[in-house]
Amino acid sequence: MPAHATPSSPASAVVLRFGRFAAMGTVALLILIAGVWASWGTAQHVMLTKGRERGTVEVVRCGPETCSGRFSPLSEGSQPRSRVVLEKSVAVEKGRTYTVVLKPGSDDAVRSGPAGVLYAWVPLGGALLLGSVVVAGGLARTRLAWVLAGSGVALLTVVFVAV
What is d(CA 87, CA 89) in angstroms, rounded to the nearest whole number?
6
Question: Domain range for residue 122?
Answer: 12-47+116-162
Q: What pLDDT does 6 receive?
A: 52
Domain membership flag for residue 131: yes
82: left (phi over 0), alpha (psi -120 to 50) or beta: alpha
Whole-angstrom distance, CA of residue 66 vs CA of residue 8: 61
- Are 124 and 156 contained in the same domain? yes
Claim to verify: residue 74 and residue 39 sit in the same structural domain = no
How much is the mean pLDDT over the chain? 89
- Does residue 126 fall inside a structural domain? yes
Does 63 share its domain with 96? yes
Q: What is the pLDDT of residues 111-150, one digit of tens each?
A: 888 888 998 999 999 999 999 999 999 999 999 999 999 9
Our count of domains for the chain comes to: 2
User: What is the C-alpha to C-alpha distance for residues 19 and 21, in angstroms, rounded to an integer?
Assistant: 5
pLDDT in tens, 2-34: 555 555 678 888 898 899 999 999 999 999 999
Instruction: Tell whether the torsion through CA atoms of 144, 122, 90 and 100 is positive or negative.
Output: positive
**pLDDT (average), residues 56-64:** 91
Do both 43 and 58 map to the same domain?
A: no
Asked if residue 123 belongs to a domain, the reply is yes
Closest CA to 134 of 36, 28, 29: 28
Are 122 and 147 members of one domain? Answer: yes
Per-residue model confidence (pLDDT) at position 10 = 84
Is residue 72 over pLDDT 80? yes
| Residue 111 included in any domain | no
